[in-house]
Amino acid sequence: MTATARPAPVVAPSALREHRRAPALGRLVRHEWRLLTGDRFGLTATLLFAALLAFASLSGMARHAREQRTIDTVEREYRTRVDSVRARFAALATDTTPPASPFAPDPRMPGAVGNTLAAPWATLPPGPLFALATGQSDLVRPYVKITTQSRQTVVQLEQLDNPLNLLDGGFDLSIAILLLLPLVVIAVGYGLLAEEREQGTLALVMSQPVSVTRVVLAKLIVRGGVVWAATMIAMLGTALISGALAAPLGGVALAIWVGVVTLWIAIWLALCLWVNAGQRSSAANALRLVAIWLALVVVAPALVNAAAQWRHPAPSRVELIGRMREASNAANARGTELLKQFYGDHPELAPPGSVDLQDFAARRLVVQADVDRTLAPLLDGFGAQLAAQQRVVQRWQWVSPAIAVHTVLLDAAGTGASRYRAFEEAITRFHAAWLSFFADRIYAKRRMTTADYAALPAWQWSEASAGALGRTVAPSVAILALVTVGVMLAAVRAVRRVTPVG
Amino acid sequence: MLRTMIRKEWQELTRDGRVRVLAGSILLLLGGALAASAVGVRQARSERSAAEALTRTHWVTQEAKNPHSAAHYGIYAFKPAPVLSLIDNGVDPFAGQLTWLEAHKQNEFKARPAQDALPLARLGALGASTVLQLLVPLLIIVVAFAAFAGERESGTMRQLLALGVAPRTLAMGKALGVSTVLLAVLLPATVLGVLAVVQAEGAGAVAADAPRAVTLGIVYLLFFVVWIAVSLGVSARARTARSALVSLLGVWMVTGLLAPRVASDLSRRMVQAPSAYEFATAIANDFSKGIDGHNPADARAKALEARVLKQYGVDSLSQLPVNFAGIALHAGEAYGDSVYDRRFNELWSAYERQEQVRTGVAVVAPVLAVRALSMGMAGTDVAQYRRFTDAAEQYRRQFVYAMNEDMTQNAGEADFEYKASQALWTKVPPFSYAAPNLGWVLGQQRGALLVLLAWVVVSLGWAVTGVRRLSPL
């Protein structure tokens, strides 16, 4: 399998001639580079990794382009529609004849304007590093049509997709970094010292006037450097081509990625070194490292997530249906009473003349408002439980650095839980404002005016500040840094005790 | 002879701390996953039947109202949670759990559980199926990589062959030794699985699910046979135990870890399914060309009016022996049905073609075929999701038809002022859904089945040729 059966001299012959002088690090590095390129398995793993990074980059850029295109289409549709509605209104503004039917799309009627004619799209632009991390973006629809319907009807962010594809998720750079990168580091690092020992060259090295730490450092620089460079090229290339630097927070997000990925590689190099310092065979090392990978990357995140779900289970959407029905049956039965009470509380919104308590539109609104009031705590419960789960995960992320890496990469990319939750909250607020704008006019039986058209609430997405993003990711980054330093210290201590034979 | 060999393998393997730790972890994770999902499935089932009963009560206790208002009030359909989903919950977390069946509209299934979960859940939950598909093959690798390569490296292969042990006997001994260790994990795992199923639904249901459960077991056994054959085949050919291990680990990672995600990306790129916006826009465009049951001013409604007048041989709508609004609603539904049939069919067939791309990838990564079959047996694959949504849609069409028919026959001149009584609501039977039988599921997953069987044959053949050419060096 490996071509390293031929015992390769660890220290270059020229260095041997320079008696009693420690070889420069540069020379060791050059030698290690030759060793690495001669290692068929390590080379295959690295090349496969590079190919997969390229695949992930291309997929990511295609995904980003599609998302942007859809949002552009949606926004264009809205502008065209609203322009035509305004034009139709301008032609009808002074026409006082009643509309053809209560359901007619008449631009003078607030009900029709608010629910269909001028219903705006609330859109979320792709996050700064959207092309690098799919995250939750395949589950969340980044455009929601805001109407005067109830909150639970409007605030629906479910994307349409093949459930099988959602189950597997895509292959993107964040996944390559999280799952694959450690395995590539293991592939090039499981025999770091064990191979030298198996070939007997370790004894030779240790008899030279060079510290093992220094030789090891050269090995780490070469092996880690190759993986690091390949990842950075893919990351930066994808980010730059997809216009990350022009996006808000792009620079900060990219800096966070560079930092976190560097720490992540350092952790795995240190783990390789630590395992190699034990006096085991390279095969045993490989198994041990894969077991560590399995525990940290596969088992620990799943267990922490399961614990969070068990501690703060999401409310049941199935149960919610029953509650929703009950609330709407109860409110419908009290429609007249609710409307009477409403006009009593808001005399300023009573239409001129006598109040019609059977008015379809006004009744529908007052019933809907009552249902929304009853359901609001239940609907808020979903977000609250998710936030509670996130806190549990945050508290337990020291269990595995993979959890911190995953959370930070997605949050910085703008496809994680925090940004989508902010989007949902912003939509909920905007929907309330939009609804109240039209409700006032429907209750008062007023028609739309030119001033109303000018004052329509407009959707505006405001991205979190760089400071806020920094505060979100800071605890996880701090934990990562601590873990890195800890594992490295342990590895260096272990290496100092290495003996040339098993 | 064979018995001695198996005993030797068993002793050697169970003495290895790594094997003990891995086998123990697998049992622990499997037990935990099964227990947790048994509780989850049981809860989901009771929640759903409670919600079904409650919304049924809401439906039958509606006050007297116009049948079309009742159709707008609608009925909810909840996706059942099959008992075997506790072994493989498949696409369930990413499939809608419920839909609102109402007049005029085929709504999509909503409320995916994944919507209310953290991104961390996307890294892969540790369900029983994950343990069986990912961790058990790892155990097989760990117990089998050194089978021949280890003997070769330590020089004992030369002795064995010199003793006159036939390579075939040696291979049988190794295979049975590995299988014994595997059985030591799988037997308690099966007991745990059966216990979990009984716990979730009672012994009666186990009998009903038995054909699927047994097939599920066979599928996994075949998958493990493939892994044992591949591991022994590699070990028979490898010069050192290390190179056998490293190549097997490489295959395990690429097929188990990368293949599903890469297949998902490939299938998306090769077959583009519509986005939510494209799908809704296509339907809206189809409708804007058609008639709207609410709007008799529409040109198409005029044509319908003329046709109906001619059919009954009268001059005006007031002379009709039936209610025209009901007929207009019927016509609206019929047009809507044709639109939804067309668009949903396009959507599902795009998903089907995406799944075919995966079956293609399964040719190099058999775990994809096993996943498809496992979900199929558990009742949590896309085909059965579609079958359920189709059944719900047929039910919607029937009950909306019943409402419109009552309107046509009985509304007379009262039109939308006409009120039907509770007798009409109870005439609508509750929605019930029967899962398809084993043959239907196997028919849907025949591609995956073929790929898995081909893998069994090819991997066994490959192992046998490797063993035949067994060399001591």
Q: Does A270 touch chain B (CB under 8 A)?
A: no
Cα–Cα distances in Å, from B194 out to A317, B190, B388? 29, 6, 26
Per the model's pLDDT, the better-predicted residue between B455 and B160 turns out to be B455
Mutual angle of helices A212-241 and A181-189, in 10-degree steps: 150
- Interface contact A170-B250, CB threshold 8 A: no
Q: What pLDDT score does A8 carry?
A: 53
Residue-number span of the structural domain to which A253 is assigned:
29-91+101-306+401-502
Asked if B47 and A317 count as a contact pair (C-beta separation under 8 A), the reply is: no
pLDDT tens, B93-128? Answer: 999 999 999 999 999 998 999 989 998 988 877 889
CA A34 to chain centre: 39
Q: Give dist(CA A435, CA A114) in Å, integer.
A: 8
pLDDT tens, B306-338? Answer: 888 899 988 888 888 888 888 888 888 888 898
CA dihedral sign of residues B161, B165, B168, B169: negative
pLDDT at A15 over 60: no
H or E segment to which residue B100 belongs: strand B98-102
pLDDT at A360 over 80: yes
SS3 assignment for A37-64? HHCHHHHHHHHHHHHHHHHHHHHHHHHH
H or E segment to which residue A122 belongs: strand A121-123
Q: Is residue A415 part of a domain?
A: yes
Question: Which of B20, B47, B100, B116 is the mutation pick for testing A, counting most A CBs within 10 A?
Answer: B116
Q: Is residue A391 part of a domain?
A: no
B22 vs A contacts (CB less than 8 Å): 291
H or E segment to which residue B106 belongs: strand B105-106
Of the candidates A441, A384, A376, A410, the one whose C-alpha atom is nearest the C-alpha of residue A169 is A410
| Average of per-residue pLDDT across A365-394 | 93
Q: What pLDDT score does A4 carry?
A: 43
Q: What pLDDT score does A326 carry?
A: 92
Q: Does B243 touch chain A (CB under 8 A)?
A: yes
Least CB–CB distance from A321: residue in B55, B123, B264: B55
Residue type, A201: T
Q: Give dist(CA B431, CA B49) in Å, integer.
A: 12
Identify which of A20-34, A68-82, B11-25 has the greatest average pLDDT: A68-82
- Alpha helices, DSSP H, located in B61-148: 67-73, 128-130, 136-144
Percent of chain A predicted with pLDDT > 70: 95
Q: How would you list the strands of the sheet with B98-102, edge to edge?
A: B75-78, B98-102, B105-106
Number of Cβ within a 10 Å radius of residue A348: 9
pLDDT at A213 over 90: no
Q: What pLDDT score does B427 carry?
A: 94
Total number of domains in chain A: 1
Q: What pLDDT score does B364 carry?
A: 92
Q: Does A307 touch chain B (CB under 8 A)?
A: no
- Using pLDDT thresholds of 50, 70 and 90, give the confidence band for residue A42: confident
Q: What pLDDT score does A1 carry?
A: 39
Q: What pLDDT score does A196 carry?
A: 78
Q: Give dist(CA B322, CA B319) in Å, integer.
A: 9
| Average of per-residue pLDDT across B363-385 | 95
Number of Cβ within a 10 Å radius of residue B257: 20
Q: Give dist(CA A457, CA A442) in Å, integer.
A: 16
Cα–Cα distances in Å, from A393 out to A178, A460, B119? 17, 31, 11
Residue type, B163: L
Residue type, A347: P
Per the model's pLDDT, the better-predicted residue between A94 and A273 turns out to be A273
Q: What pLDDT score does B380 carry?
A: 95
Q: Is residue A370 part of a domain?
A: no
Task: Using the structure block, give the residue that is written with the tokens 């790129």.
Answer: B269
Asked if B401 and B333 count as a contact pair (C-beta separation under 8 A), the reply is: yes
**In sequence order, what are the residues at sequence separation of 6 or more whose Cβ sits closer than 8 angstroms to the Cβ of residue B327?**
B304, B308, B408
Q: What pLDDT score does A427 carry?
A: 96
Identify which of A86-100, A117-131, B148-162 has the greatest average pLDDT: A117-131
| Average of per-residue pLDDT across B13-23 | 85
Q: Does A279 touch chain B (CB under 8 A)?
A: no
- Alpha helices, DSSP H, located in A39-150: 40-92, 110-112
Q: Give dist(CA B163, CA B472) in Å, integer.
A: 12
Q: Is residue A428 part of a domain?
A: yes
Mutual angle of helices B17-60 and A282-293, in 10-degree steps: 20
| Average of per-residue pLDDT across B156-169 | 82
pLDDT at B296 over 50: no
pLDDT at B206 over 80: no
| Average of per-residue pLDDT across A246-268 | 94
Among A residues 211-230, those touching chain B with beta carbons less than 8 Å apart: none
- Using pLDDT thresholds of 50, 70 and 90, give the confidence band for residue B290: low
Q: What pLDDT score does B291 carry?
A: 45
Cα–Cα distances in Å, from A481 out to A183, A219, A261, A297? 20, 22, 11, 17
| Average of per-residue pLDDT across B181-197 | 89
SS3 label, residue A144: strand
pLDDT at A502 over 60: no
Q: Is residue A380 part of a domain?
A: no
Which of A70-79, A206-215, A425-434, B292-301 has the weakest average pLDDT?
Answer: B292-301
pLDDT tens, A437-446? Answer: 999 999 988 9
pLDDT at A2 over 60: no
Per the model's pLDDT, the better-predicted residue between A130 and A28 turns out to be A130
Q: Does B17 touch chain A (CB under 8 A)?
A: no
| Average of per-residue pLDDT across A411-417 | 94
Chain-wide mean pLDDT for chain B?
89
Question: Measured between CA atoms, how close is B1 to chain A, in angstroms?
Answer: 30
Which of A87-96, A352-361, B283-292 has the weakest average pLDDT?
Answer: B283-292
Q: Is residue A195 part of a domain?
A: yes
Chain-wide mean pLDDT for chain A?
89
Q: What pLDDT score does B293 carry?
A: 47
Mutual angle of helices B136-144 and B241-253, in 10-degree steps: 170
pLDDT at A30 over 60: yes
Q: Give dist(CA B234, CA B462) in Å, integer.
A: 9
A322 vs B contacts (CB less than 8 Å): 50-51, 54-55
Q: Give dist(CA B48, CA B97) in Å, integer.
A: 9
pLDDT tens, A113-145? Answer: 999 999 999 999 999 999 999 999 999 999 999
Q: Is residue A356 part of a domain?
A: no
Q: Is residue A42 part of a domain?
A: yes
**In sequence order, what are the residues at sequence separation of 6 or more whose Cβ sits closer than 8 angstroms to the Cβ of residue A389?**
A305, A308, A309, A311, A312, A314, B117, B118
pLDDT at A194 over 80: no
pLDDT at A157 over 60: yes
pLDDT at A22 over 90: no
Among B residues 129-168, those touching chain A with beta carbons less than 8 Å apart: 134-135, 138, 142
Q: What pLDDT score does A179 carry?
A: 92
CA B253 to chain centre: 23
- Please count the helices (runs of H) and the strands (runs of E) in chain B: 19, 3
Residue type, B318: S
Task: Using the structure block, give the residue that is written with the tokens 């409604």.
Answer: B301
Q: What pLDDT score does B297 carry?
A: 47
SS3 label, residue A140: strand
Which of A229-233, B168-172, B276-280 has the weakest average pLDDT?
Answer: B168-172
Q: What is the largest CA-CA distance in chain A?
A: 109
| Average of per-residue pLDDT across B411-423 | 89
